A = this chain, B = another copy of it.
Amino acid sequence: VALSFILAESALELVPEEIRRSPAVASDSRRRGKEPFEILLDRSFHHSSMARLKESEKRGRPDLVHVALLSVTGTPLYLEGHVKVFVHTFPGLVLELEPKTRIPKNYLRFRGLMEKALVEQPEKGLVSVYRSTVPELVKRRSKSDLIIAFSIRGKMENLGDVSKEVAEAKSPAVIVGGFPHGHFSSETLSVPDRLVRIDESPLEAHVVASRVVYEVEKVSRRMND
């Protein structure tokens, strides 16, 4: 299997222009010795300034993105090179990880890495950055023949069965929301073949991510036996 894992509309971005001069951002900027445009938007530090941002409830949670990425990049399926990871962000930049790239488990190092990538937007390397919508991403980069998105608004299906379909596809993509609250945009929703729900309760991104990759891994190992 060559699985594309897309963390969509992720709550990962540099502090946007509108609030760069706000008190919470200014004090964080001084404390860290970095310019406001070099700092990740983070609700833990910028909460009081975030209310005026549109769709504020979906933004500024790099911690959540970090844990979701660790839960994918720690799996044997990923480490063996069978998963391509794309972090599509709320403002429309995509971070693509070179296959098998490990990301730092230490949050402060992860933050530094993401800030550097988003400021410099390198065209190649372990993390490359470019502008893309989820529809463009699926069309150009992952060229997927089966696309499944996971959402509490989807139709309840058994994850084992869904993962079997995914593992048997040639170039499947799975889409998981990289935001803490709310739902996929209509743009993202135009992409998947099916919107699937795998639990009665809403699950955090890292829980969905680790379960999907694990189930796909199990099926693909059975197929290779």
Contact = CB atoms under 8 A, between A and B. Distances in A.
A38 interface: no
A74 interface: yes
A203 interface: yes
Interface stretch (A49-57, A103-111, A134-142): A103-111
Contacts of A105: 61, 63-64, 67
Could you say which interface size class chain A belongs to?
Answer: 20 to 34
Interface stretch (A18-26, A125-133, A145-153, A205-213): A205-213
A207 B206 contact: no
Given A44-B108, A44-B109, A210-B210, A203 B71 contact: no
A108 B107 CA distance: 8
Nearest to A180: B105
A105 to B, nearest CB: 5
Contacts of A76: 199-201, 203
Q: How many copies does the complex hold?
A: 2
Contacts of A71: 71, 206-207, 210
Interface in A71-130: 71, 74-76, 79, 105-109
A90 B104 CA distance: 22
Interface in A3-43: none
20 contacts: A44-B106, A44-B108, A61-B105, A67-B67, A67-B70, A67-B105, A71-B71, A74-B203, A74-B204, A75-B207, A76-B199, A76-B200, A76-B203, A79-B201, A107-B107, A107-B108, A207-B210, A210-B210, A211-B214, A214-B214
